[in-house]
Chains A and B, each alone.
Chain A
Amino acid sequence: MSQAPSASDASKESPPPLPSGVVAFVKRDCPTCVLVEPILQAIALEVPITVYTQDDPEFPAGLKPVDDTELTVSWHYDIDVVPTLLRVEAGRVVETALGWHRGEWEKLSGVEGLGPDLPELRVGCGSLSVDPSRAPELALRFSGSKLQSRRVETASLEDDIQACFDRGWTDGLPVVPPTEARVLAMLEGTTRSPEELVAVVPPDLQPCSVEKVAINAVMAGCRPSYLPVVLAAVEAACTDEFNIHGLLATTMSAGPVLIVNGPIRKRIGMNSGNNVLGQGNRANSTIGRALQLVIRNVGGGRPGDVDRATFGNPGKVGFCFAEDEEGSPWTPLSTDFGFEAGTNTVTLFPGEGPRTIFDQLSREPESLARSFAASLRTMYSPKSVMVFDVVLIVSPEHARVFREAGWSKEDLRAKLHELTLLPGDELVRGAQGIAEGLPDGVRGKSIPKFRPDGLHIVHAGGGAGLFSAIIAGWVNGEMGSRTVSWEIQS
C-alpha cells in the first residue's frame, strides 16, 4: 500500500482577496440574476463594481465579469445565494445583501433609483458553491487538509471494494470505500471537530477521533445524519462499565445490541415496527455495523484473534433497532436509566440473537406473564441464574394485553421476577440428571433467575403477531458488562 500526500495542494491556497468597492456574485442560470443584469450595469456606471460569475463567463454582458466557474472565490466567502451583493473595504466584507432588494442595493452601492420598473424585491437562487452536486468536491478541494488520517492509494487496476477486503478493513461484507469526499460529507452530520477524541478503543486501547468514527461509518453505509448515534454508541461501548473488551473476547455468542430512543429515531428514519430486528432499514442495518467496524479497525478486535467466540451470532455484523415509543403502553427504555422521556439516547446491551416467545391464546396479563416467565427460565440453561441479564421485547399485540389490564412496566417486571424465582433443589449439580448446576448450598432456597436490574423491557415489533422476543445477555456486573444508556449529542 502506498501513501499519498496528506492533503491536496489546492487546500494550501489562502482565500483569494476581494477588491474594494461593490462586489457581486451571480450565475446566468438564476432568473433573479438575469433580472438584475441591467441594475449591475447601471451601478457600474456610477461606482467601481466587480462581478464574479459562477457559470457563464460572458454574463452579465459588458461588465468583464471575473470567471469563478471553479467556485474558488464563492466557496471561500461562503456565498449561499445568488445574487449576493457585498461592499468590501480593505479586503473585508462590511455589508451584505442577498437576492434582489431595491432598498438594500441602493444603500449598499450608494446608487439611487435602481430598477424603477422592477419589483421591490425578488429572492435569489442557491449559489453553485453550495449545490449538492458540487459542494462535496469543493469541501474536499479546500478543506481536505483538516482530515488527519493516512491516505491509502489504491492501484489503478484495483477494485476499491476489493481493496478494502484485501486490507482487512471489512467484516466480510462489502464496505463503501472511504474516500475523502465521502468522509467529509459524513462529518457534516456532527458539529464535533474531526480531531476530537471520542474514546480509547479496546482491545488495542487506541485513541479514536471523530474522523475515524466517520470513516468507519462511511464504510458501514451510514448516512451523515446517523453519525451522532454512532458516536454515542462508540463512547458508550468503550466505558469500563460496558466493557467491550470482555464482550469481544468472550467465547460466548453475544455482541453489542443498540437500542435507540428519542425523536432522532424518526428523524433518521429508524424502524421500530415490522421486521424490527431484521433487514431492510438503512439506519438499523448500518449504525450497529459502524460500531463493530470501529472495534475491528480502530480497536484491532478481530474474530479468531482477540474475539474468541465459539459461535458468535449474525447480529455481530451489527445489531441496532429503535423502540416503538409512540405505540407503547409504557415509558421508553431510556427512562429506566434516568433520562427524561424524549431524550435521544442509545442503550447498549451485551446480547446474542433474538429468540421468539410464542403465545397466541393469553388474553389475561397473568397468563401472558407466566408464558414469558416459562421461556425466560430456560435462558442459556434452566440452571443458570443471576449471571445473565435479558432484554424482553414485547410486541404491540402482546403489549395490548397489559395495556388493557392497566399493567405498568414495573408491574410486569415485578411479576416476572416473582415467576422466575427458581427452587434451589432444581438448580444444584446433578439435579434433573444434569451435571451442570450450582453448589449444594442453594438446596432449600429460592434463587432469582435475574438480578433486580437485570430484566429490561422494550416495546417494538410489527402490528400483527402474538409474539414477544428475548435477547439473552452476556455476563453481567463488574466482571462482565453493565447495560449502558448514553445521550446522543446532536
Chain B
Amino acid sequence: MTILLDPTSEAVPAERTRAKRLATLAGQTVGLLDIAKMRGDIFLDRLEERLTKKGAKVIRYKKPTFTKPAPIDLRHEIAEQCDAVVEALAD
C-alpha cells in the first residue's frame, strides 16, 4: 500500500439540483448566449423567432470571444435576468 497525494483540484462536484423545468415558455424570459463563434447568430436568430412565437421574452447576450470563458459579470447578469438560457456553439 502506498499513500499518494492527489494531483487534481479535488473539486468534488458539488451536488446541485437542476433548476425546475419550465412548464411553459409563455411569459418566461429566455437568454440566448452567443459564444461569438462565426455564424452562431444565424442559429440564434432562428431560435429567437421560434421562442418568441411561443410567448417567451428573449434577451440576447454575447461572449467577447469564444476562446475565453464567459466573464463572471455576464454569467451573473444572465442568472439575474433569465428563467432559462440557451448557449449555442456554431461554426
Contact = CB atoms under 8 A, between A and B. Distances in A.
B7 A203 contact: no
A245 B68 contact: yes
Contact of B7 (A163, A207, A245, A298): A298
B4 A250 contact: no
B69 A245 contact: yes
Interface in B1-54: 1-11
Given A149-B10, A204-B11, A206-B11, A245 B67 contact: yes
Contacts, number: 91
A221 interface: no
Contact of B67 (A4, A215, A475): A475
Contacts of A203: 69
B65 interface: yes
A298 B8 contact: yes
Contacts of B5: 147, 149-152, 178-180, 183, 211, 215
Contact of B2 (A149, A154, A298, A300): A154
Indicate the size class of the contact surface on chain A: 35 or more
A9 B2 CA distance: 17
Contacts of B10: 149-150
A169 B67 contact: no
Contact of B1 (A154, A180, A201, A249): A154
Contacts of A155: 1
Contacts of A201: 9
A162 B12 CA distance: 22
Contacts of B6: 149-152, 215
Contacts of A160: 2, 4
Contacts of A293: 7
A204 B65 contact: no
A435 B8 CA distance: 45
Interface string A199-211: 0011111111001
- Centre residue among B3, B4, B9, B68 by max chain A CB count within 10 A: B4
A293 B68 CA distance: 20
A154 B4 CA distance: 7
A149 B10 CA distance: 8
A409 B91 CA distance: 40
A299 B9 contact: yes
Nearest to B36: A479
A219 interface: yes
A293 to B, nearest CB: 7
Interface string A234-251: 000000100101100110
A253 interface: no
A179 B2 contact: yes
Contacts of B67: 243, 245-246, 249-250, 475, 479-480
Nearest to A154: B2
B38 to A, nearest CB: 12
A177 interface: yes
A212 B2 contact: no
Interface string B65-91: 101110000000000000000000000
B3 A152 contact: yes
Contact of B9 (A153, A163, A208, A475): A208
Contacts of A32: none
A341 interface: no
Given A299-B9, A479-B67, A164 B4 contact: yes
A297 interface: yes
A389 to B, nearest CB: 15
Contacts of A149: 5-7, 10
Given A206-B11, A208-B9, A298-B9, A163 B4 contact: yes
14 contacts: A149-B6, A149-B7, A152-B3, A152-B5, A153-B2, A164-B4, A179-B5, A183-B5, A204-B9, A206-B11, A212-B7, A245-B67, A293-B7, A298-B8
Interface of B: 1-11, 65, 67-69
A-B pairs with lowest CB-CB distance, top 3? A246-B67, A206-B9, A150-B6
Given A149-B7, A299-B9, 7 more contacts: A149-B10, A153-B4, A154-B2, A154-B4, A177-B2, A215-B5, A298-B8
